[in-house]
Structure 1
Amino acid sequence: MSAVEKFMPLLNEAEEENVTPTPCFTHEGINYLYIRHHNLYLLSLTKRNTNATEILLFMHKLVQVLTEYFKTLEEESIRDNFVIIYELLDEMMDFGYPQTTETKILQEYITQESHKLEVQARPPMAVTNAVSWRSEGIRYRKNEVFLDVVESVNLMVNAAGNVIRSEILGAVKMKCYLSGMPELRLGLNDKVMFETTGRTSRGKSIEMEDVKFHQCVRLSRFENDRTISFIPPDGEFELMSYRLNTAVKPLIWVECLIESHSGSRLEYMVKAKGQFKRRSTANNVEILIPVPEDADTPRFRTSTGTVQYAPEKSAIIWKIKQFGGGKEFMMRAELNLPSVKGEQVETKKRPVEIKFEIPYFTTSGIQVRYLKIIEPKLNYQALPWVRYITQSGEVTLRIADNPASASAASSIVPRLLRLLRHSNNAIAAYYQAIQKP
């Protein structure tokens, strides 16, 4: 207990010295390994030279289990459920060795009702089976598998319009409603697989990095021939995740022109363009445009969607329910600045943020080649469903440090008019009208 009491002082001391604390450190012969979840620290101590990755992974699994039991994991939920946490720890680890860490199996014999614990006399067979993540005897009238390939795009564009950071974070999520103990085999358009097996790819192949699998996947099989073979857990789970550190162009491009009028009024002219395939459609698009904190009396005009002023975020939010590929839309906003005097208006260097979701589309080009379902005992026909979704992660586009003057704006407006002339005559006429004094 004396070693535990030294943990927080050691962390505070590192912060005072401006030293970034690592998840593992040693003090007086004791190894401290910890993770942080919101305002909680989970700490493990050992005097041996143990596997640090295993300990950290176990603590992450513990957070996942407790979150699924209590919905939110915080100090109050730990105090209210101390008994069940004690019982869960007893089942999840024995003598320093991790045991059952799958929530669905734990919930079969450790149930929670009004902070009371009920433990069944005999644990389910899954705990003693080689397949500890799936129970035996599962039966469904209709056998189905739903597979979602979800990709999040992280993108940062500087004020000059150059992409300075881009990556794709992907995940393959599954919902399995299958009887018995089926074996599934998943094939992707994996570049390494084509190279190792000597096969040729008809379409595009991708090279995944930082691949992480659910514990049900047979890693030895994947390392040998890149086949993803597994007996799935029942219900919903994440089969794998991956990363692609590849150059990605912005799927929705935003140009923002800011015109200052005598330092007391700002005019924003925003153009958004969909830079993805015309047959695809982005849903629930949100474009967040930063404005000065003391702005008031907003007035908006837009060719599509709705615009609202969010003073708590010091931003204008432009919402477009459906944004077709290759389409362009315009929005104009006027804001008063009662507390600002002078010709120039200083603004904080905050970027434009974009949120969206594009179904049936992947940025990386990943493709499910096949999904085989084998259950020799029951020998049933199952229906696999595959869906692709691309969504925004952290997509930010930086704008100029200061608003443009009226003279600078006048040189850009004709260029915007030329871009719009062939696509939207009505808006072009509108922008010609606002140039008049």
Structure 2
Amino acid sequence: MSLSAIFFLDLKGKVLISRNYRGDVDMSKIDKFMPLVMDREEEGNLSPILSHGGTTFMYIKFNNLYLVTTSKKNANVSLVFTILHKICHVFQEYFKELEEESIRDNFVLIYELLDELIDFGYPQTTDSKILQEYITQEGQKLEVAPKPPPAITNAVSWRSEGIKYRKNEVFLDVIESVNLLVNANGNVLRSEIVGAVKMRVFLSGMPELRLGLNDKVLFESTGRKSKSVELEDVKFHQCVRLSRFENDRTISFIPPDGEFELMSYRLNTHVKPLIWIESVIEHHSHSRVEYMIKAKSQFKRRSTANNVDILISVPSDADSPKFKTTVGYAKYIPEQNQCIWHIKSFPGGKEFLMRAHFNLPSVEAEEAEGRPPISVRFEIPYFTYLISLFSSFYREAKNF
């Protein structure tokens, strides 16, 4: 993969900052980018890869910015998008928020980072923790030139040597999102689990950690019978030894210092709705509409769902909202044609009701819009479908 140049544009296509890495593409070519995007939007054929006059534009949109790369070579597109997202992550680590204002306020620092992240169009050091050791947000004195840490040239480039802690600690969190689609008859049409394993590591030296999985592939190869899971779309942090995982499905790694995401995964599995929603909609003489929404939690009583938001679509011309809830509160958001029922705490095995009343000045809108789906968002701490995912976790070192 080789990039010719990278550009940061505002929403109008104005270049905020750019870096020319190879010099083989005229920097004025970026003027053709925004017209190409607008033409594709009008045609309804928008793509993250655009070509014009032998130059290929590859871009992502992040907040109010366009990150655009140009290339004249047959670049590896997947790697290009990976480095673009990695740049966004590094800049967020430095500036907290990556947007037009933070770009304008940090020109010098951004140029330093771009020179370290990419060299002659090829990705280099992309670990924000290592970069922060020698590229700081403080001014550098001329007589004291900053030296890159040895980790950059080490085999373990994501961790510095000589780290010491008075107390060795490791924290592991499994964070999962359940995407579920249920039809009006209560049948699950699609369900998947998207998860990530995040760690906080405070260990001295160069520790070797291992994490065992109750993995279906491992159990089938060894003839063992136990509760297992079949992971898909697994993505590991660069510290994981992939060859070891391929051989015996053990995640072996020397971890970065501090907080990082060890792996992410996806599961295509049948999942029952954790919060069941039933709705009754009544129209009265084409002048008003009433909603009765019943929400029932279908998980164990010892668990509690927090910050539950139930989003109900309403006709675009609805007005004069009136709500009555047995718990929480409801509010109307006219710009989104929705009302939201918010429940701060929803214990397991409970059932709550919400009634909503709207006036309908127009008959046509009521008949044309139909019944859009109801969406539910919530969080359940310490609740995962993969609670039995991990079979072992240990460190190959003494005094742990």
Q: How does 1:183-198 map to 2 (within 5 A)?
A: 183-196=208-221, 198=222
1:283-325 superposed Cα distances (whole Å, 9 cap, x missing partner): 2222222333454454443333333444454433323333233
Q: CA separation in 1, counterparts of 2:40 and 2:316? A: 35
RMSD of aligned alpha carbons: 2.7
1:355 to 377, 393, 396: 377
| Helix, strand or coil at the partner of 2:103 | helix
- Tell me which residue corresponds to 2:124: 99
Please give the alpha-carbon distance, in whole angstroms, between the structure 2 residues aligned to 1:287 and 1:14: 35
Q: Looking at both structures, which has the greater relative contact order when contacts are Cα pairs under 8 Å and sequence separation is at least 6?
A: 1
Deviation at 1:249, TM superposition (A): 2.3
Question: Could you tell me the percent identity over the aligned residues?
Answer: 63
- The 5 Å alignment of 1:229-244 reads 229-244=252-267
Question: Aligned pair in 2 of structure 1 residues 305, 40: CA closer, same or farther (>3 Å)?
Answer: closer
- Aligned-pair CA distance for 1:35: 2.6
Pairing of 1:110-125 with structure 2 (within 5 A): 110-113=135-138, 116=139, 120-125=145-150
1:238 Cα deviation (Å)?
0.8
Question: Contact between 2:305 and 2:345, CA under 8 Å: does it hold in 1?
Answer: yes
Report the alpha carbon displacement of residue 103 of structure 1 after superposing the two structures with TM: 0.7
DSSP-derived class of the 1:57 partner: helix
d(CA) in 2 for partners of 1:288 and 1:255?
13
User: CA–CA distance in 2 between the matches of 1:298 and 1:146?
Assistant: 47
Tell whether the 8 Å contact from 2:140 to 2:146 is kept in structure 1 after alignment.
no
User: Contact 1:211–1:240 (CA<8 Å) still a contact in 2?
Assistant: yes
Q: Is the contact made by 1:206 and 1:365 (CA closer than 8 Å) also made in structure 2?
A: no
Over 3 Å counting, the alpha-carbon distance change for 1:81 and 1:159 in structure 2 is: same
> Is 2:96 aligned against 1:66?
no
1:275 matched residue in structure 2 = 298
Q: Based on CA coordinates, which of the two structures has the bigger radius of gyration?
A: 1
Distance between the aligned counterparts of 1:261 and 1:40, measured in 2? Answer: 47
1:374 is matched with 396
Aligned residues between the structures: 372
For 1:15-414, what aligned pairs fall within 5 Å after superposition? Answer: 15-23=41-49, 25-113=50-138, 116=139, 120-196=145-221, 198-202=222-226, 204-337=227-360, 339-340=361-362, 347=369, 349-363=371-385, 366-375=388-397, 379-381=398-400
Counterpart of 1:10, as a letter, is L
TM-score, length basis structure 2: 0.83
Is 1:8 the equivalent of 2:31? no
Structure 1 runs not aligned, ≥5 long: 382-437
Q: Distance in 2 between matches of 1:334 and 1:307?
A: 11
The CA deviation at 1:334 is 3.1
Q: 1:341 to 1:230 in 2, by over 3 A?
A: closer
Question: Kindly tell me: are residues 180 and 312 of structure 1, through their superposed partners in 2, closer, same or farther at Cα, counting changes over 3 Å?
Answer: same
1-side partners of 2:236 and 2:150: how far apart? 24
> Structure 1 47/265 Cα, relative in aligned 2: closer, same or farther at 3 Å?
closer
One-letter identity of the residue aligned with 2:395: I
Q: Distance in 2 between matches of 1:199 and 1:112?
A: 55
Moved more, 102-111 or 281-290: 281-290
Report the AA paired with residue 207 of structure 1: E
